[in-house]
Amino acid sequence: MTTPIYYVNDRPHLGHYYTTMAADILARFYRLSGVSVRFATGTDEHGAKVAQAAHEKGESPQVYVDRMSQVFQEMVERAGAQPDDFIRTTQPSHREAAQALWQELEDRGQIYLSQYEGWYSVRDEAFYEETELLHTPEGRVAPTGASVEWVQEACYFFRLSHWQGPLLQHYKENPEWIGPESRYNEVVSFVRGGLRDLAISRSKLSWGIPVPHGSHVMYVWMDALTNYLTVLGYPDLHSQGMQHFWPSCVHLLGKDIVRFHGVYWPAFLMAAGLPLPHRLFAHGWWMSEGHKMSKSLGNVVNPENLIQTYGVDALRYFLFRHVRFGHDGDFCHDLFIRRTYQELADGLGNLAYRVLSFLQSRTQGKIPALSLSSSLGVREKELLAWGPRVLPLVTDCMDRQDLYSYLDLTHQGIVKGNQTMTQLAPWNLAKGDAQALEAMHGGLHGLTALLRDIALLLWPVMPSSCTQLLHQLGISDAPSFASIGSPLHSNPLPVPTPLFRKPEIIS
Ligand code: MSP
């Protein structure tokens, strides 16, 4: 499971938190399913954009990237993410991997030296065709709005044009290779339009990985894409990482960098004789309060403040609950607070508190054992069956990176729990005869099992709140989906405390 590696030219923003959190949620989900996962993220530290940022700060590139990479590592931690690798493109193992991939391509006759003459955007770190540019009163700009400059320099080229046929064939045979479908269509139509050979070195830049036996440095995307192999031990094809994890890899990325991942990357891999990753998934773009985030509009969402005020779990929940992953989203602060607290404090927190505080006062804080003498009631059966029924459905969602439907399914479990608690009305049953008490015990056992299953299913999204909930349910084992649907032990439970605080602004 990978995120793009982040440029260190500026401080991390919501977009960086977003992909990091998504990859972490997916990695945690698969781990709980018993799948061995390697989750990699990191920083993209070469190229003209980073060199310029260092220059503006009056620092040497190396000093600058060392400092900024640290800032991104802190971002990953603040996002609640636990990657297995944090790769930096300035580390020696990456230099070795990028040079080895280059050498492989060169040995296979895929690289030649020529002259590049055309447009380059430093902000996008991309070469553009004249026909792609937009004409504005200020002159030509990239389709992204970034400024472009005319570049004339000696470059090494990769024979991208040779790979048009094989790429189209691959897309045709693997219609699920890129999600969502709109991005798949975008890539296919770009490649159908014809491919020109790609400049993959810069001779007028010094901040980069030197090409083997040459005076140029690698084009930053050629260098950066290789990171996905570096973390697995490439160029050693027999390394444990390459053997075990490549090519069963899912790349998460933003929609702006689909061309690099969906066209250039598979072409490099095919040309080097390597298998292609399992799937790419491109998410959308966050706006804020209806507008593109901009410092001058003052609407830049500051994830650090949100995390500090509301906790990282609330932000992780909202970002994937509010907007379908793959679509563009609008961050509205008011909605963030309402939605999260309706579903977390009033929904999940309330359900847990109602059930656990009732157990505390009426059953000496113990989960009532299921009576083995009588058969299970319809209600208990249904509550115990919820987790096993939903697990394959959420797994299917996660296999398609559909985090939205996954959270919708878990939310339905919370609603079901609250409804059942109201219908069960254990406070009335507690005053009744033996049959009423049996119904009360069975219902409460079922509700506690449902809570446990919801806590496990939501653990990948909200690890700390769900760990706290599991503790309140007397479960301290490492979380695993293997226990979904199983009856609970009747251990004494700690006194429950509210899981989520309701902000004062909500009445
Ligand atoms: N360094 C390259 C990636 C190389 S991967 C081999 C890069 N870095 S980046 O720092 O500019 O962007 C990282 C990610 O942040 C991209 O996936 C991009 O889509 C995402 N986002 C940047 N702004 C964003 C929003 N406003 N909203 C959501 N994601 C956005 O590109």
**Helix residue ranges per DSSP H, 256-400:** 258-259, 265-271, 303-310, 312-322, 333-340, 350-362, 378-399
User: Among 17, 44, 295, which residue has the most ligand 1 atoms within 8 Å of its CB, making it the best to mutate?
Assistant: 44
**How far does the centroid of ligand 1 lie from the alpha carbon of residue 153, in Å?**
28
Q: How many CB atoms lie within 10 A of CB 153?
A: 15
Please tell me the residue having the least CA distance from ligand 1 atom 19. Answer: 254
In the predicted model, residues of the chain with pLDDT beneath 70 are 295, 371-375, 503-507
**Pocket of ligand 1, beta carbon within 6 A:** 4-7, 15-16, 18-19, 44, 224-225, 227, 253-254, 256-257, 285-286, 293
Q: Which atom of ligand 1 is nearest to the CA of 254?
A: 19
Position 367 scores a pLDDT of 87
**How far does the centroid of ligand 1 lie from the alpha carbon of residue 316, in Å?**
18
Please tell me the residue having the least CA distance from ligand 1 atom 25. Answer: 15
**Helix residue ranges per DSSP H, 33-163:** 48-56, 61-78, 92-107
pLDDT tens digits for 243-280? 999 999 999 999 999 999 999 999 999 999 999 999 99
Position 372 scores a pLDDT of 54
Rounded Cα gap, residues 404 and 321, in angstroms: 5
**How far does the centroid of ligand 1 lie from the alpha carbon of residue 3, in Å?**
9
**How far does the centroid of ligand 1 lie from the alpha carbon of residue 431, in Å?**
60
Please tell me the residue having the least CA distance from ligand 1 atom 6. Answer: 225
Q: What is residue 274's DSSP assignment?
A: -
Number of C-alpha atoms within 13 angstroms, CB side, residue 136?
Answer: 13
pTM: 0.96
Position 289 scores a pLDDT of 80
Tokens of 421: 């608690």
**Helix residue ranges per DSSP H, 129-180:** 164-173
Determine the straight-line distance between the first and last CA of the chain, rounded to whole angstroms: 41
pLDDT tens digits for 120-170? 999 999 999 999 999 999 899 999 899 999 999 999 999 999 999 999 999
Position 373 scores a pLDDT of 47
Rounded Cα gap, residues 229 and 245, in angstroms: 10
User: Among 209, 222, 265, 285, which residue has the most ligand 1 atoms within 8 Å of its CB, making it the best to mutate?
Assistant: 285
Q: Which of 353, 386, 355, 385 is nearest to 465 (CA)?
A: 353
Tokens of 121: 């955007």
Rounded Cα gap, residues 233 and 149, in angstroms: 37
Q: Which atom of ligand 1 is nearest to the CA of 293?
A: 26
Q: What is residue 442's DSSP assignment?
A: H
